Chain A
């Protein structure tokens, strides 16, 4: 029984982290139909901002929950202004530019912090379940992931900005004709997506350690989840993260995490063949 609980926590944790690292990417994709290839680096910048804050004596919870989204959100807003906006409507060029940005940021981080791993302490102790020990922080990450999804749902569903964003997502031309400043909506969305990436980076910093190229270990899974999910950011992320999280975890149990990722990729390629628009392109079409 205790073992079953531990295994269940592992599965839910895999799904929750997948959703957490993908949500920012999914929101930008749902809105602009581009994949931000610098998403991994946004997460790394979040991790570094948390690490710097901790080393300057900031309270650990503030350092991982408040500092990263604000810092990366501001960086995201600047990048939207300088780069993404210049390439508006040219999706391929936008992706190439964010790729250039990703290399640039990795280089800059390596120059500032060096090619070494920095640690952020884990703020929660382990929890004993029967005879087994599990990490209390995993449970926190699960709770936070659920809360973030819920928060985004509330913002999209019941705020005025969310209404404008949903309108722009459905039909940008019509929204613009009705007087919405769509380029401002895009800017806010991009910064919001960046802030969510920063949050994910900050929250996962104690688990994974912080070094300049760690973005590469997240983005593969995040890309797969977003593409598998399709255009609706919340439902797409939730369903794809659940599906891929389970596949990943089963394969990881049977072999090791690397083959878990391979199983994920194969599953995604087969899924794309069957549902080219992702899960939400076929099911839950009117969802968020």
Chain B
């Protein structure tokens, strides 16, 4: 019993996240109407996407500017595969494996050449730009993979949703989609926490801190970065797959630079080097983008660009570290000061 309490105490944040997550998972479908639930499903999917970049950037120190390449590839891979197969089990796997393979191939060329951060950022961004241009140019009936028309800038409409594995007639309803996305978000969150606590995760963080020193200690920094990058690619692909299944539609904007920038902004706002921060960053910024979309007088890019600029210049470490390192100690300190004052007054009255 005492052991359990100690474990709970030392991991109280994780326990709190788990409890809140499960409560939301059960309560939201009961409380909310379908429209709001759909919206929150999207936030959960973006939360997974945010976690995938938070892992490779915040913990792996890999500056991926083109994360939407993996997101978009997962989305398109799922859409093409599910239209051809009519059943979603294998397509979901393909949507995870293909981006992971792209990340591994790209990672091999980048990390084994030991190129600098600046180059990694620019190459990943260029990959996304070119994916966007290629997919954008595939309008017309001659561009198809099997039965799936790629549709160019019009995108691919009527993509079937995920179904219960191996039961093609049993497609997921919006409520089920919400539960699936939420559960996957929690699984990814705790999975990454676990991964970071393993030997692999610790070496990865050490590589971020000082790559040369880690190599002197005998670890292969390149391989650790490559594996982490592939995991990030796989998770982004998963988010892409869920995204298409959620909206039954995918267009080249999944690959766009603005999409990449948004993921970066989630991390910048939430705080690189945390996992919870980027999830909330994704939630806040996605909500904000929807709100901006409802009015006419200011362009969404202006707001997103301004947010990125302001955070880089003024809050470079994001909101989560600011709360946990400034606000919480400040609250604790003021409480301790108040407690101290009370002690003194008690002593005096005694």
Contact = CB atoms under 8 A, between A and B. Distances in A.
B309 A220 contact: no
B109 A272 contact: yes
Which A-B residue pairs are the 9 nearest by beta carbons?
A: A104-B305, A100-B308, A107-B301, A103-B305, A107-B302, A107-B299, A100-B309, A220-B129, A258-B137
B122 A107 contact: no
Given A107-B302, A220-B129, A276-B115, A97 B109 contact: no
B89 interface: no
B305 A102 contact: yes
B126 A97 contact: no
Contact of A99 (B112, B123, B130, B308): B308
B121 A104 contact: no
B295 to A, nearest CB: 12
B192 interface: no
A33 interface: yes
Interface of B: 63, 65, 106, 109-110, 112-115, 117-119, 121-123, 125-127, 129-130, 132-134, 137, 257-258, 261, 264, 268, 298-309, 312-313, 316
A5 interface: no
B115 A92 contact: no
A217 B118 contact: no
Of A103, A272, A276, chain B has the most CB atoms within 10 Å of the CB of A103
Nearest to B133: A258
A87 B305 CA distance: 17
A37 B281 CA distance: 23
Interface in A186-240: 216-217, 219-220, 223-224, 227
B270 to A, nearest CB: 14
Contacts of A108: 299, 302
A258 B150 CA distance: 15
19 contacts: A35-B122, A83-B309, A87-B313, A91-B118, A95-B65, A95-B121, A96-B268, A99-B65, A100-B306, A103-B301, A103-B305, A107-B300, A110-B299, A216-B132, A256-B137, A269-B109, A272-B115, A272-B119, A273-B112
A273 B300 CA distance: 38
A109 to B, nearest CB: 9
B106 A101 contact: no
Nearest to B316: A93
A106 B112 CA distance: 35
Contacts of B118: 33-35, 91-92, 95
Interface string A252-268: 00001011011001001
A85 to B, nearest CB: 11
B220 to A, nearest CB: 17
Contacts of A103: 258, 261, 301-302, 304-305, 308
Nearest to A258: B137
Interface of A: 33-35, 37, 83, 86-87, 91-93, 95-97, 99-108, 110-111, 216-217, 219-220, 223-224, 227, 256, 258-259, 261-262, 265, 268-270, 272-274, 276
A223 B122 contact: yes
Contacts of B122: 35, 223, 227
Nearest to B106: A269
B69 to A, nearest CB: 11
Contacts of A272: 109-110, 113, 115, 119, 123
B114 A276 contact: yes
A265 B126 contact: yes
Nearest to A274: B113
A272 B127 CA distance: 14
Contacts of A37: 65, 125
Contact of B301 (A87, A104, A220, A227): A104
Contacts of A86: 313
Contacts of A273: 109, 112-113
Contacts of B305: 100-107
B273 to A, nearest CB: 13
B127 to A, nearest CB: 7
A110 B303 CA distance: 13
B258 A265 contact: no
Given A220-B130, A272-B123, A106 B301 contact: yes
A273 B109 CA distance: 5
A208 to B, nearest CB: 14
B308 A97 contact: yes
Given A96-B308, A100-B306, 8 more contacts: A37-B65, A95-B65, A96-B312, A103-B302, A220-B129, A262-B130, A262-B134, A273-B112
A177 B307 CA distance: 38
A210 B288 CA distance: 30
B299 A87 contact: no
Contacts of A265: 126-127, 130
Given A33-B118, A83-B313, A92 B63 contact: yes
Nearest to B303: A107
A224 B126 contact: yes
Contact of B123 (A34, A91, A227): A227
Nearest to B135: A258
Contacts of B304: 100, 103, 107
A35 B126 CA distance: 12
